[in-house]
Amino acid sequence: MIDLTGKSALVTGASRGIGKAVAVRLATQGADVAFSYRGNEAAAAATAGEIEALGRRALAVQADVTDPEAADGLVKTVLEAFGKIDILVNNAGITRDDLIMRMSVEAFREVVETNLFGAFYMTKAVTRPMLKAKAGRIINMTSVSGQAGQTGQANYSASKAGLIGLTKATARELASRSITCNAVAPGFVLTELTKDLPEALQAQITAATPLGRFGTTEEIANAVAFLASDEAAFITGQVLAVDGGLVMM
Helix (H, G, I), strand (E, B) or coil at 149: coil
Query: Residue 207, CB half-sphere, CA atoms under 13 Å: how many?
Result: 6
Q: Of 145, 57, 137, nearest to 90 (Cα)?
A: 137
Tell me the β-bridge partners of 136.
179
The residues, ordered by sequence, that sit 6+ positions from 146 with a Cβ below 8 Å of its Cβ are 156, 157, 159, 160, 161, 162, 163, 164, 185
Backbone φ/ψ region at 212: left (φ over 0), alpha (ψ -120 to 50), beta: left
Q: Whole-angstrom distance between the N-terminal and C-terminal Cα of the chain?
A: 29
121 is catalytic: no
Please tell me which residue in 37, 121, 156, 214 is annotated as part of the active site: 156
Detail the DSSP E strand segments found in the chain. 8-11, 32-37, 58-62, 87-90, 136-141, 179-186, 239-242
Given a contact cutoff of 8 angstroms between Cβ atoms, the answer to whether 150 and 161 are in contact is: no
CA dist 133 and 47 (Å) reads 28
Catalytic residue ranges:
156
